[in-house]
């Protein structure tokens, strides 16, 4: 993207109009976060050092049709003076005789900050007359307001018709260079992060990015319009009703293109923008009389996981920035409560396997404690570099296939094919009639035996049912509970699933809780609502230790036996949501150790892509488990993937 830059302008003795983005959050009459101010400092220093007189302009917040003392740039002028180590006087206005006289009096090496451009409605209307008045203040124009450059406002677009030459500042140059490289020849996977208050400001950008990126992270106030489009009630949170259909269309476009679109799963809520504190709740639990003001801890974890996969994280409109306590009461940056640990976006280039990476770091890192294992539970994982590395689990669900004559050679084939494997847990779940035979074949190996269902009571007059102690006696370690086929065909309810989980746990079995939505529920944007309802009801009454012994399998009903599976991004998005919800229902430590499997037309040719997603910890394999060679291939690919991630 070739463009004239400030470095190419003859600056000595010139008055330079610099349009910057100083839309910083204010609190207590001071700048609460000076990130945007620091970003423009290199451009200002360059101009001042080369003998220019700088007339600096910016907007701040959203004044309602005229001057608002609460949105004056006075605190910004004070903080800029500290950063530049020189006085930064503030003009009484951005246009008018007094301002023009003050601008003409600025000497080489000096700077004048104009008052808030948006104190004049003409700014946002891209008024030509207003732009002409701004142009009279200088000899040339420099735009360094990258975050506002998409707006057709007077100080951005119309002014360039009256003030030439017009050039890009250093920040603008840097961002344009990165955008050009990323959009023309991006390194994959490519993740974009969008924030801000309004969807309407970024509709075209969202539509364009969906066609360019592998994942799109949406935060800020605009996220609530997308959440409403998914059917979530969001209380009094900022929503643009006339943009809900637009958001729904973007979600559908992302789904069709296989682009992961990450939205908040929890939020910090309060009574209003002036609240001094807030609390984190799940998106579905936002009270009707409160509003979401910031992302919550589960969302931070989910967004971090998405960003960690990016080989180049610089395509973004907003980075995740966190601060210690304190409220962004007024000003720019979208506003919101800042809490929990301080986050910083570290733009250091790191080299790992020859790729550039921008990293999101926590100032304070903690090693997660190991998760307690339940009786006879498969391995949950190990600590690696301060994080939990969950051991992959691959389960073969034979369903109602396999007579004894068929089961024996199938089990033997799997056993022989996996004589030398490590780094992955394997369980086979044959029909009840074949449990004993398969158990004998895999006895003494690392392959576990599992059942496809169980009753919740240890014994009783329950014709045709199998009790947990009976399964244990046969050597079962694992039992599938709540499989979507049983929910659909047998009418199993979440309450019944909950009773079965309790019964299985009481006898040392590891329950594999199956959850998932129908095609219609996904079409209506109810995937998260459905999965959350199933999880909450199925885990009702379980303590933290009990939840820690579970495995969860996400198996979208529309993908089972259809040959159509969710994209890796779609699956990972739900898996991240499941983990976040478990963090709320149990604890963060339990959620970090929880293995969440994907089920639904898993085959040897798609398992690599699925397990490459950090949130997917293994597979519940249906039809492909009925072929020994195919199932062994899936297990070996899972083992190789685990070894690669652990390097």
Active site residue 327: no
Query: Does residue 530 carry a pLDDT above 50?
Result: yes
Strand ordering across the sheet containing 53-57: 111-113, 53-57, 15-19, 140-143, 166-168
- Average the pLDDT over each of 181-185, 212-216, 245-249, 364-368 and give the range with the smallest value: 364-368
425-439, 486-500, 589-603: which is most confident? 425-439
Long-range Cβ contacts of 316-319 (<8 Å, 24+ apart): 316/192, 316/193, 316/194, 317/147, 317/192, 317/193, 317/194, 317/195, 317/196, 317/202, 317/205, 318/147, 318/193, 318/194, 318/195, 318/196, 318/219, 318/220, 319/193, 319/345, 319/360
**Residue 136 buriedness (CB in 10 A; 0-12 / 13-18 / 19+):** middle
Cβ contacts of residue 555 below 8 Å, gap of 6+? 483, 484, 514, 515, 516, 598, 599, 600, 620
**Is 309:266 a contact under the CB 8 Å cutoff?**
no
Radius of gyration of the chain (CA): 29
Paired strand residues for 553: 514, 597
Q: Output the pTM of the full model.
A: 0.46
Question: Is 50 exceeded by the pLDDT of residue 451?
Answer: yes
The whole-number pLDDT of residue 633 equals 95
pLDDT digits (tens, 9 = 90+) for 387-412: 456 899 999 999 999 899 999 999 99
Please check the confidence at residue 357 and state whether its pLDDT lies above 80: no
**Residue 201: what pLDDT?**
65
CA distances from residue 507 to 67, 117, 439, 472 in whole angstroms, order as listed: 70, 70, 18, 8
What is the rounded distance in angstroms from the CA atom of residue 379 to the CA atom of residue 351? 33
Asked if the domains at 186-362 and 387-634 fall in one CATH topology, the answer is: no
Are the beta carbons of 587 and 368 closer than 8 angstroms?
Answer: no
Strands (E), 122-272: 140-143, 166-168, 191-194, 215-218, 260-262, 266-270
Name, in order, each residue with C-beta under 8 angstroms of 83's C-beta and a sequence gap of 6 or more.
Answer: 34, 37, 38, 41
Percent of the chain scoring above 70 in pLDDT: 84
Joined together, the tokens standing for residue 468 give 């947990």
CA–CA distance, 58 with 21 (Å, rounded to integer): 6
The CA distance from 602 to 555, in Å, is 10
Say whether 341 sits in a helix, a strand or coil.
coil
Reported as a single tens digit per residue, the pLDDT across 619-636 is: 999 999 999 999 999 999
Strands 330-331 and 25-27: antiparallel
Whether the pLDDT of residue 66 is over 80: the answer is: yes
Whose tokens are 């993908």? That residue is 559
Report the pLDDT value the prediction gives residue 243, as an integer from 0 to 100.
87
CA distance 233 to 289: 11
Selecting among 59, 153, 232, 483, the annotated active-site residue is 483
Region of poorest pLDDT, from 77-86, 374-383, 489-498, 586-595: 374-383
- 336, pLDDT greater than 50: no
Residue 611 near residue 568 (C-beta atoms within 8 A): no
**Cα 267 to the chain's mean position, in Å?**
13
CA–CA dist 264, 580 (Å, integer):
10
pLDDT in tens, 113-150: 999 999 999 999 999 999 999 999 999 999 999 888 87
**What is the distance between the alpha carbons of residues 620 and 600, in angstroms, rounded to a whole number?**
8
Confidence of residue 332 (pLDDT cuts 50, 70, 90): very low
| Average pLDDT of the segment spanning 496-516 | 94
What is the per-residue pLDDT for 294?
87
Q: If you write DSSP's letter for every residue of 538-568 in order, what string do you get?
A: HTTT--HHHHTT-EEEE--GGGTTTS----H
Has domain 186-362 been given CATH number 3.40.50.1260? yes
Please write the tens of the pLDDT for every residue from 174-205.
887 777 776 667 777 888 888 877 777 666 67
The domain locations on the chain are 6-173, 186-362, 387-634
Residues 6+ positions from 84 with CB-CB distance below 8 Å: 41, 44, 45, 48, 111
Alpha carbons 111 and 77: distance in angstroms, whole number = 10
Active-site annotation holds for 82: no
Q: Six-digit token pair at 105?
A: 């009096």
pLDDT band at residue 644 using 50, 70 and 90 as cut-offs: low
Are 457 and 500 in contact, with CB atoms under 8 Å apart? no
What are the structure tokens assigned to 83, written together?
A: 């950063």
Rounded to 5 degrees, φ, ψ at 412 are -65, -40
Query: Tokens standing for 640?
Result: 């190789």
CB-based burial, 541-560: b 16+ in 10 Å, e otherwise: ebeeebbbbbbbbbbbbbbb
Provide the pLDDT for residue 524. Answer: 78
Span 222-249, average pLDDT: 87
Judged against a pLDDT cut of 70, whether residue 640 lies above it is answered with yes
The correct answer on CATH 1.10.3720.10 for the domain covering 6-173 is: no
pLDDT at 538: 93
Q: Given this model, what pLDDT does residue 204 score?
A: 66
Residue 152 predicted with pLDDT over 90: no
Q: Which of 115, 123, 175, 555 is catalytic?
A: 555
pLDDT band at 327 (very low <50, low <70, confident <90, very high): very low
Q: Compute the mean pLDDT over every residue in the chain, rounded to the nearest whole number.
A: 82
Peptide bond into 553 cis (omega under 30): no
Architecture of domain 387-634: Alpha-Beta Barrel (3.20)
Q: Which of 515, 498, 517, 503 is nearest to 472 (CA)?
A: 503
Q: Which two tokens stand for residue 219?
A: 């935060």
Q: How many residues are given for the chain?
A: 647
Joined together, the tokens standing for residue 135 give 């142009």
32: pLDDT strictly greater than 50? yes
Q: What is the pLDDT of residue 161?
A: 93
């Amino acid at each position: 993207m070739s463009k004239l830059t400030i470095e190419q302008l003859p600056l000595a003795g010139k008055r330079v109009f610099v349009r910057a983005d100083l839309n910083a959050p204010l609190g207590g009459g001071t700048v609460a976060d000076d990130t945007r101010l620091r970003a423009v400092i290199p451009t200002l220093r360059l101009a001042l050092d080369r003998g220019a007189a700088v007339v600096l302009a910016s907007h701040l917040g959203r004044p309602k049709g005229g001057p608002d003392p609460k949105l004056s740039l006075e605190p910004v002028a004070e903080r800029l003076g500290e950063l530049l180590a020189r006085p930064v006087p503030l003009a009484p206005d951005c246009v008018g005789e007094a301002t023009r006289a003050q601008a003409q009096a600025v000497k080489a090496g000096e700077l004048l900050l104009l008052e808030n451009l948006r104190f004049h409605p003409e700014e946002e209307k891209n008024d030509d007359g207003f732009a002409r008045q701004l142009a009279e203040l200088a000899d040339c124009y420099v735009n360094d307001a990258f975050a506002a450059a998409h707006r057709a406002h007077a100080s951005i677009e119309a002014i360039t018709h009256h003030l030439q030459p017009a050039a890009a500042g250093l920040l603008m140059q840097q961002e344009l260079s990165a955008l050009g490289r990323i959009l023309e020849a991006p390194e994959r996977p490519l993740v974009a992060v969008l924030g801000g208050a309004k969807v309407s400001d970024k509709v075209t950008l969202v539509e364009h990015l969906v066609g360019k990126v592998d994942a799109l992270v949406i935060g800020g106030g605009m996220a609530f319009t997308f959440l409403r489009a998914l059917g979530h009630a969001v209380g009094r949170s900022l929503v643009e009703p006339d943009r809900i259909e637009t958001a729904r269309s973007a979600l559908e476009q992302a789904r069709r293109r296989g682009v992961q679109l990450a939205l908040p799963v929890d939020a910090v809520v309060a009574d209003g923008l002036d609240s001094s504190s807030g609390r984190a709740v799940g998106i579905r639990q936002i009270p009707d009389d409160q509003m979401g003001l910031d992302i919550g801890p589960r969302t931070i974890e989910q967004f971090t996981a998405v960003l960690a996969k990016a080989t180049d994280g610089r395509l973004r409109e907003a980075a995740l920035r966190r601060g210690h306590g304190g409220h962004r009461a007024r000003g720019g940056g979208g506003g919101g409560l800042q809490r929990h640990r301080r986050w910083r976006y570290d733009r250091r280039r790191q080299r790992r396997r020859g790729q550039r990476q921008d990293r999101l770091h926590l100032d304070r890192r903690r090693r997660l404690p190991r998760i307690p294992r339940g009786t006879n539970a498969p391995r949950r994982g190990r600590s690696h570099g301060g994080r939990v590395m969950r051991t992959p689990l691959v389960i073969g669900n034979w369903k109602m296939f396999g007579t004894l004559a068929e089961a024996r050679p199938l089990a033997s084939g799997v056993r022989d094919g996996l004589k030398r494997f490590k780094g992955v847990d394997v369980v086979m779940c044959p029909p009840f009639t074949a449990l004993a035979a398969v158990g004998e074949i895999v006895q003494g190996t690392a392959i576990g035996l599992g059942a496809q269902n169980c009753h919740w009571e240890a014994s009783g007059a329950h014709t045709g049912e199998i009790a947990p102690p009976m399964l244990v006696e046969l050597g079962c370690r694992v039992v599938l509970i709540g499989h979507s086929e049983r929910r659909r065909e047998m009418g199993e309810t979440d309450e019944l699933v909950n009773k079965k989980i309790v019964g299985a746990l009481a006898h040392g079995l590891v329950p594999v809780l199956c959850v998932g939505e129908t095609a219609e529920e996904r079409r209506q944007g109810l995937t998260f609502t459905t999965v959350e309802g199933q999880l909450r009801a199925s885990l009702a009454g379980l303590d933290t230790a009990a939840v820690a012994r579970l495995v969860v399998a996400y198996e979208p009903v529309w993908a089972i036996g259809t040959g159509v599976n969710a994209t890796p991004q779609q699956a990972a998005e739900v898996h991240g949501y499941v983990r976040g919800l478990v963090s709320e229902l149990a604890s963060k430590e339990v959620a970090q150790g929880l293995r969440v499997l994907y089920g639904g037309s898993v085959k040897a040719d798609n398992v690599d892509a699925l397990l490459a997603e950090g949130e997917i910890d293994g597979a519940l394999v249906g039809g492909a488990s009925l072929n020994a060679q195919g199932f062994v291939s899936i297990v070996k690919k899972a083992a190789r993937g685990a070894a690669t991630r652990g390097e």
